[in-house]
Structure 1
Amino acid sequence: MSIDQLVSQMTLEEKVHMLHGSGKFTSAGVERLGVPALTSTDGPLGVREEIQNDSWAAAGWDNDFATFFPAGGGLSATWNLDLAKQYGEAIGQEARARNKHVLLAPAVNLIRSPLGGRNFEYFTEDPFLNKQLAVPYVLGLQAQDVISCVKHYAINNQETLRGSIDVQADERTIREMYLPVFKAAVQEGNAYSVMSAYNQFRGAYLSENDYMLNTILRDEWGFKGFVMSDWGAVHSTVESAKYGLDIEMGTEIDDYDQWYFSEALIGAVKDGKVDEAVIDAKVKNILYAMNQVHAIDTTGRKSGSINTPEHLEVAYNVAKESIVLLKNENNLLPLKDDQVKSIAVIGDNAKRKHANQGFGAGVKTKTEVTPFDAITTKYPNVKVNYAQGYEEKYLPNDLDRSWGLPIDYSADSNLIKEAVEAASNSDVAVVFAGSNRLVETEAEDRKGLRLPFAQEELIAAVKAANPNTIVVMIAGAPYDVSNVHEQVDALVWSWFNGSKAGDAIVDVLFGVVNPSGKLPVTFPKKLEDSPAHATNSFPGGPDVVTYQEGILVGYRWFDTKNVEPFYPFGFGLSYTTFDYSEPKVMNNGGTITLSLDIANTGDVAGKEIVQVYFGKNNSSIERAAKELKGFAKVELKAGETQQLSVEVPVSELAYYDVETSSWKVESGEYTVWVGASSRDIRSEVSVSLD
C-alpha cells in the first residue's frame, strides 16, 4: 500500500496521534494499518539503556548493554572519514539490534565557545570539517535501516538559557558557519530526520520557526523526512503545526492527551485553525522515513548486532586515532616496556569511567577499559604504584542534582603526599588528569577554563618528585593547560573515548600506536581571546544572545585578529616527522587540485593529516584570513614518500551574498596554504580564479 493510500485510510485522530509522543521515546503508529509505533533512542555516545515507557527509570533489562563509543570530540580529532562511516555503521547496527527506528544522532552543532556544556559530544569549530565528518556518519548509520535524527537544528551553541534564549545572528554568519553541516547531512547524507533545537532564532522557537523549518530546510534544501522536537522544546499548537514541526517529543506532562500536538491539535483542525492537509503532510513525512528503513514492510530489513567485538574494535580504532600528542620534549614518549620497571599511575581519571555520568544520555556498557586497567593488563611485569592524587569535590550548594556543580579547587594535601610518594618510588609517573562528565554536561555551560580539583598543584608536586612525569588529559573540551605544558616534558590529550579508551591511551604511551590525532578546536591562552568572549557575547541573556563575532568563529578569529592561540586548530605531534614538498596547483575550472609529496623522515610508521587552507587576496568583502577547505590523512612507513592529491571544489570558496541571497565566488587571486595545522604552514602557493 502506498503512503498516500495509507494516509487516506486514517482517521484524523490516528494521524494526529502519530505526531506526538506516546512514551518517553515512542510515538504512536496505526496498528490496524500495519504502521508500527516509531521507536527512538539517544545515541551520541552509544545506544541508551532501555527505560520504562512512561518514566525515565531504567527498565531493568539484562540484555540492553551497548558499546560506549568515543564522544564527538574524539571522532572529530581523527580527521578520518572512513572511521566516521564505520562509527555510523556500528552504532546503527546496535540501534537496529535494539529494534529502534531512530537514533538521536549525530550531534553536530558548531563549537562556538570552549565553555559549551555539550562540546564533548559535538565535532568541531570548523564548518568544513564538521560536514565532512557528518555525511559519512549519517550514510553509515542509515545503511543499517536506522533513521539518523541530526541535531540540534539549528544555531544551538550554548546550554545557558537554552530553552528560552533568542539567538541573533546575521544571514551570512548562519549560512557560512552554522548551517553547512545540516545542509550536507540532508543533501549529501540524505538524513531522514532532523531534531529542532530548544532555543529561539530571530524571535521564534526552532520548533515553530517558519524560516528555518520550511523556507530553508524543506524549500531550499529539499528535505523529505520529518522534524522531531527536542524533548520538551514545543511551545505552541497552531504555530508549530503550520511552521514545520512534525513530531512533538518529551514534555514532562504525563498525560499525552495534554500535549500541544495531541487533543489540542485535533481541536485546531476541527476549528479550522490548521488545515487537515497540513496533518496529512506531516504523517507522510514520517511514513516516508519509515519506509526508507523498512519499518513498515520489514522485508529485507537488517537485524543488527550489539556489544560485539567488531564494534569494540571500531571504538578502539577511533580512540587511538583521536589521541593528540601536545608535547614531547626529550623524547620522553614513547615509553619502553623493557626499560620501565615501575610506573606511578596517578589521578582520579586513571580509574574513572565516563560512560554513564552527567545530565543527558549515557550508555550502559559491559566494557569500559580504564587506563589503570590497561596498564596492569598489558604490562603485568611492570610494578604499578597507584595514587588517586586528587578528589572530585564540589562546593556546598542547594542544587538538587549531581552534575554541573560549583567546583572545589582546594588541594588535598594527603592525596598529593601519596602521589608524591608513588612518583618518588617509580621510574616514570603518569598523571591522568582533566575532567569528567559531571563537569562537562548537557544543560550547564562551564564557568571557565581552569582545571578542576587542584590538579595543577598535584602535577607540580609529582613533577618535582619525578622528572619523568607525563600528563594525560581526559576531557571533551579545551582547558587552560599552560602551567601543565610548562612543567612537564610530555603532555597527551585524550577525550571521553569510549569502551576501549584505556587501551588506546596506553598503546599510545608505549608506542604500540603512533599518535595521529589533531585538535578539532582552538585552545586559547585565556578565555577572553576566544571570539565569543572577546566580543562579550557569550552566553548573552537574559533574553537574547547576539553573535557579535559573525563568521570569525574559532581559528578564523585568532588568525584574522592576529591573536596567538595556545594550541592552534589542527595541531598534533607524532613520534615521527614529516616533510612536505612544494605543492603543484592545477585549476580545471570547477576543481582546484593540489599535488605534493609527503615523506616520513623518522624511524617509525605514522599518519599525518595534511591540511589545505584558502584565503582571498584583496577581498571586496570581510573574510577570514584563512579557511580550511581540504585535508587528507595519509599513512606512511618509516622512510616512505607518497604523492598526495587534495581536490577542492571551487564552490567551496564561495561566500554567501546577502543582497542576492546566493552563493558567489570572487574572481581574483587566492592564497593556498598547506600545513600540519592552521599555524604550522609548510608551503604557500597562489591560484587565480576567473
Structure 2
Amino acid sequence: MKRIGLGWLVLGLMSGTAMAQTAPKSIDAADARARAAEAKMTDDERFQLLHGIMPIAFPGTPPLPRADLKPTAGWIPGVPRLGIPDLYETDASLGVANPLQLRKGDYSTALPSGLALAATWSPELAFKGGAVAGNETRQKGFNILLAGGVNLARDPRNGRNFEYLGEDPLLAGRLAGASIRGIQSQKVVSTIKHFALNDQETLRNSIDARIDEKPFRESDLLAFQLAIEDGKPGSVMCAYNRVNGDYACGNDFLLNQVLKRDWGFPGWVMSDWGAVHDVSYFAKGLDQQSGAQLDKQIFFDKPLRAEVAAGRVPMERVRDSVRRILRSLYAVGADAPLAEGAIDEAAHAAAARAVAAAGIVLLKNDGDALPLAGAKSVAVIGGHADLGVLSGGGSSQVTPKGQVTVLPLGGRGMMGAWARQLYMPSSPLRALAAAMPGAKVEYDSGYDLAAATAFAKQSDVAIVFATAWSSEGNDFSMTLPEGQDALIAAVAAANPNTIVVLETGNPVKMPWLDKVKAVVEAWYPGQEGGAAIADVLTGKVNPSGRLPISFPSDETQLPRAEIPGWGQPEGSQATATYPEGAEVGYRWYAAKGTRPLFPFGHGLSYTRFEQSALQIRGGAQPEATVTVRNVGKVAGAEVVQLYLTRRGAIDTRRLAGFARVELSPGESRSVVVKIEPKVLADWTPRGWHLAAATYSFTSATSAGGAGLDATIRLPERQLGR
C-alpha cells in the first residue's frame, strides 16, 4: 500500500467539537435515511445483514463465499443496489490488526496498550489515538473497527486488562468515549465491548459472573454508560461469559432492558465471535451474529427465518435490527465506498510516541536516580531490550512496520495458535545509546545470572528491563515469569544504582522493590516504545503517567485470592461472584483499610506541583476549580484527581472528576474539573438518585493520598436512567 502525507496537522488538531463537525448535522437525518433504505430492501437482503463470517479459511469450516475476500475479523455482504457497502470489520482498539499476518506485507501503526493510554488520564490523547486507528481502518478498506474495550479491571490478573482502561468507571468511560469519537471521526463505526462483566479470561466461554443490580449499575455498567454517552458508538459487542445466569449475548436484562430501554441506545448489538448458542438470542436483544462459522450453526439465517414464519419473532423486530445497522453507518459516514488510500506513517508514529511517553508511570525514584545524568557507563539487562518492546497477544495485536521478533509460545485451546510474544522493532537499547552519545551503553540478555551481575557491577548504572506477556484467552499470575525477580535482585545487589523498567499488561509483585533506586512502568508501549522509554529515562520527557489500576502487594489483598475456574478445562462450569460490588480496585482497598503496593492515581514527576484554593460549585453540572502551580525547575504535567470522600454521614472514595494540565516552571493555572453527577448518586429502581446531603471532596495525588478538602451542600435530584 502506498503511504504518503495526509495532512496530519488537521487530524492532530481535532477536538471533540471539531469531530462533531465531521458527523452528520442531525442524527435524525441518519435515522430517516435508515428507514428509507430499509423500506426498499427485500427480506433476503434484510436477513443478509444479520449474520457475517470471519473471512479466513479455518479447517473444518465451509469454504469462503468469495475468493477475493481479504483475511480480517469479519465480513457481511452489503446491498450494492441501495448503496450499502459490505461491512468489513477489523480488530482492534490498539490499531488495525492483521490476523496471523495473513495479509502479506500489510502493517499498521501499533498504538500503546489500553492501560498505557489510561495512564495518560487524557481524553485529548485518547481522541487522537482513536483518530489514528480510525484513519488507518478507513484507508485500508475497512469500515468497522472492533474497538472500545471498557471492561473494568476487577482482577489484576485478567489477560485482557492491557486492552482495557483500568479499574475506575469514570476514567475508563471518559477515555473510551473519547477514543470512540476519534475513531468515528474518520467515517468508521466503532464498537464498544465486551458487554458486560468480561473481567476474566479463565473459562470466559462458560463462567457465570454474578453481581447484584445496584453495584453492577454503579461500576461496570456505569463505565459503559458514560462511554456510550460520550462516544456514541455505532455498535455494542456483547461478551462470551454469562451474567447472572444468562449468556451476555442472549441476556434480555443487559440488551433489551439496560442498553436499549434505559439508555436508549440506537445502534446495533453484535455478538462476539463464537458467542451465539441459540436463535432465541435475537428476541433477547442481539441484532447480528458475528463470525457465524465459529458457532454451531448460522442461527440468524434459516433458524431465524423459521421463527419469523412461525410468528414467534415479529418481522418488525428484524426490520428494527436492520435499521439500527444502517443508522449507525449513516451517522458517521461509514457508508462511504470502500477503497484503500494513503496513510501518513510519520505523523501516526509521532502520535503513538506521544501517547507512549505520556502514559509511562514513574513509580519510584529514590535519590533522583532519574533522569539519567552523568553516567558514563550504562548496563542494559534483560527484556530483549536489544530487539524492541513487548506487545500483548490476541486479537488486538498489531503488526508494525519493520523487523518484528516473534517468539511462539503455543498453548491449549483455540487461542493456542495466537500465543506468541511479539516484540515491536523499537529497541530501548538503541534509543538510549542514541540519547546518551557520551556514555557507554551496552546490553546483556540476563540469561546467565552470574554474567549479568558481573556486567552490572562494572557499570555506573544498571537498567533491568522486565517483561510479562499477557493475552486474550488466558489469565496470568502477578509474578514476573522466567526468573526475572531473581535477576533484578541479583543485579541490585551488584549495583546500588539499579533501575527497573517494566513492560507488562498487568500489575506485578515486586519483592525487590526496596533494593532498587527507581521503577518505571512502561506497559506495552507500542511501536515507538523504545524511543518513548529513552525519552523518559533521559529527561527529554518529564514522566506524567498516573496509575489507572492499583498495584496490590500480593494476591491476599484481592477480593479473590484465586481466579475462579483457574486450571480447569475449557468449557467447565464455574461461577465468579463479585461480593465487592461497586467497590472495585482502590475502593476495595479503602473499604478494607489496606494499602496496596502502589495506589490508583500514583505517579511521580521530575518536577513538583502545589495545589491551592479548591472550590466546589453545584448546579446541573457540578464542578471544582483548583489552582495548580509548578514549583520545580522543569516543565511537566500534573493530573488533578478529585475524589468524593464523604456523602452525608457515609465515608466513601470515588473518583468524581479529573483534569490533566501542562505547566512550565513557575507557571500556575486555575483548573476546572467537571464532576460527574452519577458518581455522586445511587442507583435505585427509579434510576440515578442524588440525595440531598453535604458532599466532601479531596483533590489528591492518588486514591490513597491526602490533599485539599472542600465541601458543598447539594439538593436532591433525580438524574434519569
On whether the aligned pair clears a TM of 0.5, the verdict is yes
Q: Does residue 33 in structure 1 map to residue 82 in structure 2?
A: yes
The question of 1:634 aligning with 2:672 is answered no
The corresponding residue for 1:491 is: 519
Give the alignment of 1:294-443 within 5 angstroms. 294-296=333-335, 298=337, 305-306=342-343, 308-336=345-373, 339-351=374-386, 353=388, 358-367=393-402, 368-390=425-447, 415-436=448-469, 440-443=470-473
1:61 aligns with 2:86: no
1:164 aligns with 2:206: yes
Deviation string for 1:29-52 (max 9, x for gaps)? 223433222100001221012x6x
Q: How much is the aligned-residue C-alpha RMSD, in angstroms?
A: 2.3
What are the Cα deviations for residues 486-509 of structure 1, in whole angstroms up to 9, with x where unaligned?
Answer: 110111111101111111111111
Q: Is the 8 A contact 1:356 1:364 kept in 2?
A: no
SS at match of 1:610: strand
Structure 1 contact 66–306 (Cα < 8 Å) conserved: no
Corresponding residue to 1:590 among 594, 617, 620:
620
| 1:457-536 equivalent positions in 2, closer than 5 A | 457-481=486-510, 483-533=511-561
For residues 248-263 of structure 1, what are the structure 2 equivalents within 5 Å?
A: 248-253=289-294, 258-263=297-302
Whole-angstrom CA distance in 1 between matches of 2:391 and 2:591: 40
Alignment of 1:529-608 (within 5 A): 529-533=557-561, 542-587=573-618, 589-608=619-638
List per-residue Cα deviations over 1:571-609 (Å, max 9, x = no partner).
00111111222423333x334433332222221111111
The residue aligned with 2:671 is 644
Within the candidate set 65, 72, 79, 2:114 is matched to: 72
Tell me: CA distance 1:557–1:477, structure 2 relative to 1, closer, same or farther (3 Å): same
Paired with 2:678 and 2:245, the residues of 1 have a C-alpha distance of 32
How many Å separate the matches in 2 of 1:357 and 1:652?
32
One-letter amino acid matched to 2:633: D
The residue type paired with residue 366 of structure 1 is K
Residue 676 of structure 1 corresponds to 701
Instruction: Summarize the Cα distance change of 1:10–1:374 in structure 2 as closer, same or farther, 3 Å threshold.
Output: same
Change in CA separation of 1:358 and 1:136 when aligned onto 2, cut-off 3 Å = closer
Match of 2:475 in 1: 445
Asked if 1 retains the 8 angstrom alpha-carbon contact of 2:389 and 2:530, the reply is no
Q: Which one of the candidate residues 75, 82, 88 is aligned to 2:130? A: 88
Alpha-carbon distance change, 303 to 629 in structure 1, aligned in 2, over 3 angstroms: farther
C-alpha distance in 1, partners of 2:355/2:43?
47
Q: Secondary structure at the match of 2:645?
A: strand
Q: Structure 1's 676 and 341: CA in aligned 2 closer, same or farther, altered over 3 A?
A: same
CA offset at residue 460 of structure 1? 1.7
Instruction: Tell me which residue corresponds to 1:654.
Output: 681
In structure 2, what is the Cα distance between the partners aligned to 1:583 and 1:115? 37
How far 1:639 moved relative to its partner? 2.2
Q: Does the C-alpha gap of structure 1 residues 262 and 18 become closer, same or farther in structure 2, counting only changes over 3 Å? A: same
Deviation at 1:618, TM superposition (A): 4.5
List structure 1 segments (4+ residues) > 6 angstroms apart after TM superposition: 301-304, 536-541
Q: CA deviation at 1:654?
A: 0.8
**1:240 partnered with 2:281:** yes
Q: What CA distance in whole angstroms lies between the structure 2 residues aligned with 1:561 and 1:60?
A: 50
Higher deviation after alignment, 119-128 or 199-208: 199-208
The residue type equivalent to 2:534 in the other structure is V
1:597-633: CA deviations, max 9, x gaps? 22222211111111110133444xxx76210101111
In 2, Cα distance between the equivalents of 1:307 and 1:466?
Answer: 44
Residue 188 of structure 1, CA deviation:
2.6
Note the C-alpha offset of 1:302.
Answer: 10
How many positions carry a matched residue from both structures? 640
Q: In structure 1, list runs of 5 or more residues that go unmatched.
A: 52-56, 391-414
Query: Structure 1 pair 307/527, CA: closer, same or farther in 2 (3 Å)?
Result: farther
- Partner SS, residue 641 of structure 2: strand
Question: How far, CA to CA, are the matches of 2:664 and 2:334 in structure 1?
Answer: 46
User: 1:264 and 1:650, CA in 2 relative to 1: closer, same or farther beyond 3 A?
Assistant: closer
Paired residues of 2:387 and 2:426 also in contact (CA < 8 A): no
**1:356, 1:421 → 2: CA distance?**
30
Larger CA deviation: 461-470 vs 115-124: 461-470
Structure 2: runs of 5+ lacking an equivalent: 1-31, 56-73, 403-424, 716-721
Aligned mates of 2:382, 2:616 — CA distance in 1: 49
Structure 2 distance, partners of 1:642, 1:138, is 30
Q: Distance in 2 between matches of 1:646 and 1:295?
A: 34
Once the 2 structures are TM-superposed, how far is the Cα of residue 288 of structure 1 from its aligned partner? Answer: 1.1
Q: In the aligned structure 1, how far is the partner of 2:507 from the partner of 2:281? A: 37
Contact conserved, 2:187 with 2:332, CA < 8 A, in 1? yes
CA contact (8 A) 1:556 1:624 kept: no
Mapped to 1, the partners of 2:519 and 2:348 lie a distance apart of 29
2:175 counterpart of 1:137: no
| Residues 159 and 458 (structure 1), Cα distance of their counterparts in 2 relative to 1, 3 Å cut | same
Question: Within 5 A, what are the aligned runs for 1:78-117?
Answer: 78-117=120-159
Distance 2:372 2:346 in 1: 28
Q: Is the 8 A contact 1:355 1:363 kept in 2?
A: no
Residue 311 of structure 2 aligns with which residue? Answer: 272
